[in-house]
Amino acid sequence: MDGFTLVRGTLPLLISMPHAGTELPQTLAGRMTPAAARLDDTDWHLPRLYDFALAMGASLLVPHHSRYVIDLNRPPDNANLYPGQDTTGLCPVDTFNKEALYQPGETPLEDEITERVNRYWRPYHEALRHEIARLQARHGQILLWEAHSIRSHVPRFFEGRLPDFNLGSADGASCRPGLAEKLLEVARDNAAGFSAVLNGRFKGGYITRAYGTPDSGVQAVQLELAQSCYMQEQLPYAYSEALATRVQPVLRALLTTALAALGG
**pTM for this one?**
0.96
Amino acid (one-letter) located at 157: F
Average pLDDT over residues 81-104: 92
CATH number of 4-261: 3.40.630.40
Cα 116 to Cα 57, 61, 159, distances in angstroms: 32, 19, 33
Q: Which of 6, 8, 4, 129 is nearest to 58 (CA)?
A: 8
> What is the C-alpha to C-alpha distance for residues 89 and 263, in angstroms, rounded to an integer?
37
How many residues in total does the chain contain?
Answer: 264
Q: Which of 165, 200, 203 is nearest to 184 (CA)?
A: 165
pLDDT greater at residue 33 or residue 85:
33
User: With bands split at pLDDT 50, 70 and 90, how would you rate the model's confidence at 191?
Assistant: confident
User: With bands split at pLDDT 50, 70 and 90, how would you rate the model's confidence at 236?
Assistant: very high
User: With bands split at pLDDT 50, 70 and 90, how would you rate the model's confidence at 188?
Assistant: very high
